[in-house]
Copies of this chain bind each other. A is one copy, B any other.
Amino acid sequence: MTTVTVSSDGGVLTLSDGTRTARFHAIWLRDNAWDAQTRSPGNGQRLITLADIPKDTRIATAAMSGAMLRLSFAPDGKTVEFDPAWLLDRSYDRAQDRRPGWTSPGIETWDAGLTHAVPTGDFASVSADPLALCHWLGGVARYGFGKLLGGPVEDGALMRVVDLFGYVRETNYGRHFEVRTTVNPTNLAYTGLGLQAHTDNPYRDPVPTIQVLYCLESSAAGGENMVVDGFRAAERLREESPAGFDLLTQHCARFEYAGEAGVVLRSRRPMIELAPDGELVAVRFNNRSAAAITDVSFDKMEGYYAAYRRFGEIIDDPAMEVTFRLNPGECFVVDNTRVLHARKGYSGTGTRWLQGCYADKDGLLSRLAALSVREAAE
């Protein structure tokens, strides 16, 4: 039984479906109307601006009409209808204060315990079956990474992975880059050195939000890949040292890369980034490209460095890492705003050849959302 009441001044509507109750302001309701004069029926885009809505908008009448809530507004007499469930799903009449570092309900943080439950897809299946793709992308969205097995062993095959969910983000490294040992490397990635767990390109703003690393040759000893959930690492830091967590979230670090001619990339962003309401939205961590930190005051710098050190120790803790070896035709996809990746050193006989590229997470999430809608409808 849906009930609706309006405050005496017409400013606030209270809606209840028997289970959920929420208050909505007149201006919010008018702005979020879905009639054909407010929103384009074809593409859903809003046709008016806030300036088109009278400043003193208030609710004149409100009543259920069948399953729909019918409202009229003063002073302009505008009439609109809402699905009460749509409104209650968008209730803002609730406590909004959460502890800094909270994560979206759509994600789950993890440590080494995920080793035997890594989101894994089969290249042929996810390419042919939207349901398989939806499940695999859902895992990538939830855990921030996923593996894809059984792909072709051919130059450029990683582009077929990107085609599954989005578009390549081209950079100074090209549309894709070759990860193998080279002489006079412009980047330490192109050596046999082990690399501490890191996010890629923190000196870019925005950073590439997705990375694909695709294996074409893998006969050298060593070179295993590791991934670490930067969000779990941030949560651990917050538990151990709330003050240290605050230092890393409330100050900008700096990153720089100028390892090739004509390129001077610099950024100023926090190592642990929160939305203004405290949601954990990104981690940037990369010893190779960390530049001098100058945005922390003298009296806080020692504490900042202690937190930075501890954050690195947590990231280096084997209890945090999922390790695997990619074979030719296998790849992994990481959310580069969240999951750090690393590789063990390699050398000696044999070869190790990966191809990497960047793409964007919004495209991946869009594809997932569209596939999920389709799933739900079937």
Using a CB–CB distance below 8 Å, which chain A residues touch chain B?
A: 11, 23, 25, 27-28, 31-32, 40, 42-51, 55, 90-97, 167-172, 184-188, 196, 203-206, 209, 249-252, 256-270, 273-277, 279, 287-290, 292-298, 301-302, 305, 308-309, 312-313, 316, 360-363, 365-367, 369-370, 373
Contacts and interface: CB of A to CB of B under 8 A. Distances in A.
A318 to B, nearest CB: 13
A46 B363 contact: no
Contact of A309 (B55, B266, B276, B373): B55
Contacts of A264: 366, 369-370, 373
Nearest to A300: B96
A356 B302 CA distance: 48
B370 A294 contact: no
Nearest to A11: B302
Count copies of this chain in the complex: 2
A3 to B, nearest CB: 18
Contacts of A308: 50
Contact of A206 (B206, B295, B366): B206
Contacts of A290: 46
A188 B262 contact: no
Nearest to A309: B50
Given A32-B292, A258-B44, A366 B172 contact: yes
Contacts of A369: 264, 266
Nearest to A170: B167
B296 A92 contact: yes
B277 A251 contact: yes
Contact of A297 (B95, B298, B305, B362): B95
Contacts of A169: 167, 169, 360
A82 B363 CA distance: 45
A309 B51 contact: yes
B168 A28 contact: no
Contacts of A362: 203-206, 265, 267
A187 B184 CA distance: 48
A46 B289 contact: yes
Given A50-B309, A96-B296, A43 B251 contact: no
Contacts of A279: 252, 268
Given A50-B309, A168-B170, A268 B275 contact: yes
A92 B297 contact: yes
Contacts of A249: 276
A50 B316 CA distance: 11
B257 A45 contact: yes
A287 B46 contact: yes
A239 to B, nearest CB: 20
A287 B49 contact: yes
Given A267-B362, A276-B251, A361-B205, A305 B27 contact: yes
Contact of A265 (B167, B250, B262, B366): B366
27 contacts: A11-B302, A25-B298, A25-B301, A25-B302, A28-B305, A31-B305, A44-B258, A45-B259, A45-B288, A47-B288, A48-B287, A50-B312, A55-B309, A92-B294, A92-B297, A96-B296, A167-B170, A169-B169, A171-B360, A206-B360, A250-B277, A252-B277, A263-B366, A264-B373, A265-B365, A265-B366, A270-B276
Nearest to A190: B43
Given A25-B305, A32-B292, A277-B295, 8 more contacts: A28-B301, A46-B288, A96-B295, A205-B209, A205-B361, A261-B370, A263-B370, A264-B366
A269 B90 CA distance: 16
Contacts of A361: 205
